[in-house]
């Protein structure tokens, strides 16, 4: 069981891949030197900052999973409904591109949504080999319930760190997602000079 599953804090300053302080390089006097240690060790932090992000995402995803369960959805399916709502209509390939997965994976993700009547499939009039997916009225209703669940997750964050810190976290998360090449479903990547 890893640290995230146990709900424990980050690894100590020795780090997960370290053999402990003895693994440090020695200087010419035989004394341990941290000049080759990772930046987070040299700064006195307990671990890499991204692990905090990953751990928070994992904990929130677990809460989201529990809240979505009564709707019969998992996180990815809720995001597909949201993407289709934003895009209006999309092929499996277009959806797969939005989520950085293969069309086969997206087909698996949408299969139950189609079978349960939340998404309908039409032939593309411009290319009969391509199927177009659309949200049904039933899918729109379900998405409204998904939005309510997502709002509950936002409220958890706000309740834990306060509204101002939560807004800053949400803004920084959006900026990081965009900087890493991510984007909201149905939107084009931002121009290179968007942050200028």
Kindly indicate the confidence band of residue 45, based on its pLDDT and cuts at 50, 70 and 90.
low
**Domain boundaries, given as residue ranges, for the chain:** 55-179
| Predicted local confidence at residue 39, as pLDDT | 62
Return all residues near 36 (Cβ < 8 A) that are at least 6 apart: 24, 25
Candidates 1.10.357.10, 3.40.50.1100, 1.10.10.10, 3.30.70.270; correct CATH number of 55-179?
Answer: 1.10.10.10
Question: pLDDT tier at 189 (50, 70, 90 boundaries)?
Answer: very low
Least confident of 14-18, 108-112, 142-146: 14-18
| Residues constituting the chain | 196
Q: Is the pLDDT of residue 75 over 50?
A: yes
pLDDT at 14: 40
- Give Cα 186 distance to the centre of its chain: 16
Half-sphere exposure at residue 29, Cβ-oriented, CA atoms within 13 angstroms: 3
CA nearest 61: which of 141, 150, 147? 150
Q: What are phi and psi of 124, to 5 degrees?
A: -70, 120
> How far apart (Å, rounded) are the C-alpha atoms in residues 124 and 129?
7
Confidence of residue 137 (pLDDT cuts 50, 70, 90): very high
DSSP, collapsed to helix, strand or coil, labels residue 75 as: helix
179 vs 7, 39, 53, 82, 159, CA distance in Å? 29, 21, 16, 22, 28
pTM of the complete model: 0.70
Confidence of residue 98 (pLDDT cuts 50, 70, 90): confident
Are 110 and 121 in contact, with CB atoms under 8 Å apart?
Answer: no
- Considering only residues 83 and 13, tell me which one the structure prediction assigns the higher pLDDT: 83
Work out the average pLDDT over 17-22: 42
């Amino acid at each position: 069981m890893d640290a995230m599953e146990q709900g424990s804090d980050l690894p100590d300053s020795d780090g997960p891949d370290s053999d402990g302080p003895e693994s440090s390089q020695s200087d010419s006097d035989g004394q341990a030197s941290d000049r080759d240690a990772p930046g987070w060790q040299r700064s006195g932090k307990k671990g890499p900052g991204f692990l905090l992000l990953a751990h928070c995402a994992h904990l929130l995803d677990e809460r989201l999973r529990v809240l979505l369960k009564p709707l019969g959805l998992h996180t990815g399916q809720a995001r597909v409904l949201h993407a289709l709502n934003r895009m209006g209509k999309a092929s499996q390939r277009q959806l797969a591109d939005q989520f950085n997965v293969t069309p086969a994976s997206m087909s698996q993700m949408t299969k139950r949504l189609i079978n349960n009547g939340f998404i309908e499939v039409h032939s593309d009039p411009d290319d009969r080999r391509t199927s177009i997916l659309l949200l049904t009225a039933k899918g729109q209703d379900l998405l409204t319930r998904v939005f309510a669940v997502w709002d509950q997750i936002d409220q958890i964050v706000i309740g834990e760190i306060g509204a101002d810190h939560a807004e800053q976290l949400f803004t920084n998360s959006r900026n990081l997602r965009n900087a890493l090449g991510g984007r909201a479903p149905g939107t084009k990547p931002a121009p290179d000079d968007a942050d200028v």
